[in-house]
């Protein structure tokens, strides 16, 4: 009976660990903002690097 309890505890630990690893792998990656997504960058391309917008 003690062995059955020990096997159930080990199985539960393995299952929880497996679920944690899968949840970590499926987490969405951080989004990288490129030049196309940055309106200030596009504005600077069009108007130069001067900081006095007219």
Note whether residue 19 is domain-resident.
yes
Alpha helices in the chain (DSSP H): 2-25, 39-47
> How much is the pLDDT for 54?
52
- Would you say residue 3 has pLDDT above 90? yes
**Which is higher by pLDDT, 23 or 53?**
23
Which domain, by its residues, includes 21? 1-25
45 in a domain, yes or no? no
Question: Which pLDDT value is given to residue 33?
Answer: 64
Q: Assess if residue 8 is contained within a domain.
A: yes
Q: What is the pLDDT of residue 8?
A: 97
pTM of the model: 0.47
Per-residue model confidence as pLDDT tens digits over 6-48 = 999 999 999 999 998 888 777 667 776 666 667 777 777 777 7
Q: Is residue 42 a part of any domain in this protein? A: no
């Amino acid at each position: 009976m003690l062995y059955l309890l020990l096997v159930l505890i080990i199985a539960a630990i393995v299952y929880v660990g497996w679920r944690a690893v899968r949840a970590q792998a499926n987490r969405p990656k951080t989004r990288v903002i490129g030049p196309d997504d940055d309106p200030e960058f596009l504005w600077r391309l069009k108007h130069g690097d001067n900081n006095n917008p007219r």
